[in-house]
Structure 1
Amino acid sequence: MIHLRHTIAECARLIVGLTFVASGLLKAVDPVGTALKITEYLAPVFAFTGHSHSLALALSFVLCAGEFILGAFLLAGSYRRVCARFAFVFMILMTLVTGYILIADPVSDCGCFGDALHLTNLQTFLKNLVLLPLSYLVLRDASALRHLFSLRERWVPTILALGGIIFFLVENYRHLPLFDFRPYTVGLKLDEAIIAEEEQFQRAALQSTSYIYEKAGEQRSFSPEALPDSSWTFVRVQDSLALKAFKPKYDFAPVDSLGYPMAEELLTDPGVTLLLLAPSWDAANQSVIDEVGELATQAASLGYRFYGLTASGAEEIARWRYQTGATYPMLQMDPTPIRTMIRAYPGLLVLRGGQIIDKRAYSDFPKVEEVTAYLKELGDPKHPLPTPSYVRTYPLLLWALVLVLAFLRFWARKLHLTLYLKRRIHYSHIKEIDNEKEHRRR
């Protein structure tokens, strides 16, 4: 019975630990996106503070790193009692929060696994209902959980896990997310994606729309393909709830200063178009003013288009022009798709023939002396699309390798001990038989 109890606790430890590691890592891929999700959760609280973005970003770092570290320590068996307590308390809080979200429905997606895996509010609540009792089993038998590292060794995985997740978070914040799970990825043919989405919506609208007609006090619903004769009187059009709740995936609808739509013009241009993105110019970093100015000047000389794309109003745009000397034309769009397109403010998105060929955070803008070469590469259709650097994952990969090796060592030792005990038991049994035979001969 005791052995079964410990086995169940070990399985619970493995499930909870892996879930925490996966959740922390997937959110850490996009710390800015996690901060935006936290802002949605805590909107009433942030309404009383003047630094909501900074506070949400700090909470994002703490949440991502905390989840990963808890999971990493649980898997390694390090600091078992402390981690078990934290994990159980965390699961209690998250179960209560997701229960509130299920009832109040303030957000459509919890963001538990970033943008990599979307769960409904009900799925999130059920997930936590499963993890909560498992975390209690881990807490109940925390002292009996096996550990993969001795007291003298556990500093190695601790430093690798802590340093690795912090380095991973910082690099994903300074640059763009390592893995882009959002719609506007590099290489996407945005023009074709928007057309395909519109066609899909039209088909869904035709299939889900019904027409209500009345005759002799009786109302019936008819599909567009089977409308009744003239003896019926039209009452209303009825759309399905799913169609009413439809949100476009590619909400790319920039307008110029006069309100003229520019999406078609930008997406059908076979040349290169550079978009400098920021939901608000007041929140945009001004450390790359020289690089941006050189990009705009050199782009014009090469016949490329260069626009600023923002949700800022006329007063904020005028302030940005005064502070930076910007002379390039401005386009405006809703802030939500801008935040979806880029996670750095300002950020650069490059289109060529309706395809996204590059995205850059302001920390990765080409230096002034590199601008000409960069722009010429953009105009070359044979030039390969850029790929992110995987250096930011090296400490975490080393941590995973150390954990796997420790796990294999643990089972090797256990197997060796098992074989040793079996040999000892076999030897003792043979010795008893020999002693019994000797006794009989005497």
Structure 2
Amino acid sequence: MTFTASNSSAKPTKPNILLWIARILVGLLFIFSGLIKANDPMGFGYKLDEYFHVFHMGFLSDFSTWIAIFLCAIEIILGGLLLIGLAGRKVAWGLLLLIIFFTFLTFYSAASGAVKSCGCFGDAIPLTPWESFIKDLVLLVLILIIFIFRKQIKPIIKSPFTLNLLTLLIVIVSFGIGIFTLYYLPFVDFLPYKEGNNIPSLMKVPEGAEPDVYEHIYEMKNKKTNENKKVTDKEYMSQKLWEDEDWEIIGEPKTTLVKKGFELKIPDLIISDMDGTDRTEEVINNPYYNFIVTSTNVSKMSPIDLKALEKINNTIRELSEDYNIRAILATASSSDEVNYLNDQMDLVLETFYVDAVPLKSMVRSNPGVMLMLNGTVIKKWSSINFPSKEELIKNYLDKAP
């Protein structure tokens, strides 16, 4: 499909400033949103998974990552074409349909509480569903402006060849970023297990940190007058209502969060052995190089992933002959699945069990590898870019303190 620029002999018209403002804001925001999510398509796929389960569409779960890549690419493409003014009417329709869908989704998430974070900007800028809904309402207004004046959208470049070349480039980049980061990990890691982070320190509340502040509201009834009233816990204490025998508390108090306190970056990491013994401290505080091979589900590995795991296992086996290292398989899979895998590969990796939630944040790959030293994440690899024995020795093991 080729596009042609508008007729250069047409009478110039006065630019629609409102339309241009809407185009620039919407275009840039859609590109930014698409790029942020395309940086971590597997993470966006996990978020889509939540929506699929909420709407009883679990049959799409196996394709969630590829659907995520497609949606990210569509956002970037629509934003890019809007800015250069190409296929204005089609882009306006695409934006309108997309924002109506997103607005419904974020409102449903906010009203039902089914999804705690929308994932609009990935893990880079976490938004609550209500914040996302307000953002979508603003976007809806801007996109309505674009839709109303869609006939006035003209290409900013006159050359049809340049326009077609630019369009092709936008499409290639839009899909290419998501596919690349799927196989080679995100360009920028916004998760708590990113390289350079010290895991034990992110699991502890620092001294002097303020906790969450809650308010308890009591519903009270006067035994003599049958009067009902609500009082906070502070009012209950300051007025010494417990001393007044005429008043009694009805039901359970309602608790609301008044002020958010310090929040642990890693609140849910528990590493246990096959007997269920907690080995978290032992693993994360290991003073030597520690290869943590992660897999949320070993049964969902493709033949290519299994071949990659075999390479990882063999490389670590060879390294262990000459270097003091530890290597574990952290997985949420069942013992039967792990035992079957062990029989097939003769794993040199110690098996430990970790909940799927923190596992998904460690390495965006199944399998993935996280190299740690004394609690600090040194390097992370996906299943296909795990280095050779020689590279590991040269870049890491021979540089060990």
TM-score range, shorter chain: 0.7 to 0.9
Contact kept? 1:85, 1:139, Cα under 8 Å = yes
Written as runs of structure 1 = structure 2, the 5 A alignment for 1:16-415 is 16-44=26-54, 49=59, 52-53=61-62, 55-150=63-158, 151-196=160-205, 200=209, 203-204=210-211, 208=214, 221=233, 241=257, 248-250=264-266, 251-284=268-301, 285-288=305-308, 289-299=310-320, 301-368=322-389, 370-377=391-398, 379-381=399-401
Query: Structure 1 residue 52: deviation in Å?
Result: 2.0
Please tell me whether the aligned partners of residues 211 and 262 of structure 2 are also in contact (alpha carbons under 8 angstroms).
Answer: no
Distance in 2 between the 1:311 and 1:242 partners? Answer: 36
For the 8 Å contact 1:80–1:142, the answer to whether it is kept is: yes
Q: Secondary structure at the match of 1:349?
A: strand
Return the index of the structure with the highest Cα Rg: 1
Task: Report the Cα distance in structure 1 between the residues aligned to 2:315 and 2:190, rounded to whole angstroms.
Answer: 31
Q: Distance in 1 between the 2:109 and 2:350 partners?
A: 42
Report the alpha carbon displacement of residue 47 of structure 1 after superposing the two structures with TM: 5.3
Alpha carbons of structure 1 residues 307 and 211: separation in structure 2 relative to 1, 3 Å: farther
Structure 1 residues 310 and 89 mapped into 2: Cα distance closer, same or farther (>3 Å)? same
Letter in 2 for 1:171: F
Partner in structure 2 of residue 430 of structure 1: none
Deviations along 1:101-143, one digit per CA (max 9) or x if unpaired, are 2211211111111111111111111111111121121122122
CA offsets, 1:58-94, max 9 Å, x none? 2111100000000000001111111111111111221
Q: Is the 8 A contact 1:39 1:46 kept in 2?
A: no
Deviation at 1:342, TM superposition (A): 0.9
- Please give the alpha-carbon distance, in whole angstroms, between the structure 1 residues aligned to 2:148 and 2:82: 14
Check whether the contact 1:189–1:356 (CA below 8 A) recurs between aligned residues.
yes
Q: What is the Cα deviation at residue 197 of structure 1?
A: 5.9
Moved more, 22-31 or 90-99: 90-99
- Shift of the 286–109 alpha-carbon distance from structure 1 to 2, 3 Å rule, reads same
Deviation at 1:156, TM superposition (A): 2.3
Q: What number of residue pairs does the alignment pair up?
A: 368
> What TM-score results when the alignment is normalised by the length of structure 1?
0.74
How many Å separate the matches in 1 of 2:132 and 2:322? 52
User: Would the aligned equivalents of 2:205 and 2:262 in 1 still touch at CA under 8 Å?
Assistant: no
CA separation of 1:45/1:221 partners in 2, compared to 1, >3 Å: closer, same or farther?
A: closer
Structure 2 residue matching 1:204: 3-state secondary structure: coil
Contact map agreement 2:191 2:361 (CA 8 A) in 1: yes
Match of 2:228 in 1: none
Aligned pair in 2 of structure 1 residues 351, 103: CA closer, same or farther (>3 Å)? same
The runs of 5 or more residues in structure 2 that have no matched partner are 1-12, 224-230
Superposition CA RMSD, Å: 3.4
Partners of 1:78 and 1:149 within 8 A in 2: no
State how far apart, in whole Å, the 2-side matches of 1:36 and 1:71 are.
24
Displacement after TM superposition at 1:280 (Å): 1.1
Q: CA deviation at 1:199?
A: 7.0
For 2:90, what is the secondary structure of its paired residue?
Answer: helix
Q: Distance in 2 between matches of 1:106 and 1:371?
A: 44
User: d(CA) in 2 for partners of 1:115 and 1:138?
Assistant: 29
- Cα separation, 2, equivalents of 1:327 and 1:257: 16
Task: Give the letter for the 2:372 counterpart.
Answer: L
* Aligned residues of 2:123 and 2:191 also touching (Cα < 8 A): yes
Q: Which consecutive residues of structure 1, in runs of 5 or more, have no partner in the other structure? A: 382-442
8 Å CA contact 1:27–1:34 kept in 2: the answer is: yes
Matched AA of 2:343: Y
After superposition, the Cα gap between the structure-2 partners of 1:293 and 1:29, relative to the gap in structure 1 and judged at 3 Å, is same
After TM superposition, what 4+ stretches of structure 1 lie above 3 angstroms from structure 2? 44-48, 196-200, 207-212, 219-223, 235-248, 368-375
Which residue identity does 1:258 align to in structure 2?
D
Q: Which moved more, 1:268-277 or 1:63-72?
A: 268-277
Q: Deviations over 1:188-215 (max 9, x none)?
A: 1111222236974xx416x548899x9x
On the 8 A contact 2:37/2:122 being kept in 1, the answer is yes
| TM-superposed deviation, 1:166 | 1.9
- Structure 1 window deviating more from structure 2 (255-264 vs 366-375): it is 366-375
1:302 to 1:238, Cα distance in 2 relative to 1, 3 A: farther
Change (3 A) 1:171 1:104: same
What's the CA shift for 1:164? 1.4
Q: Structure 2 CA distance, aligned partners of 1:101 and 1:239?
A: 22
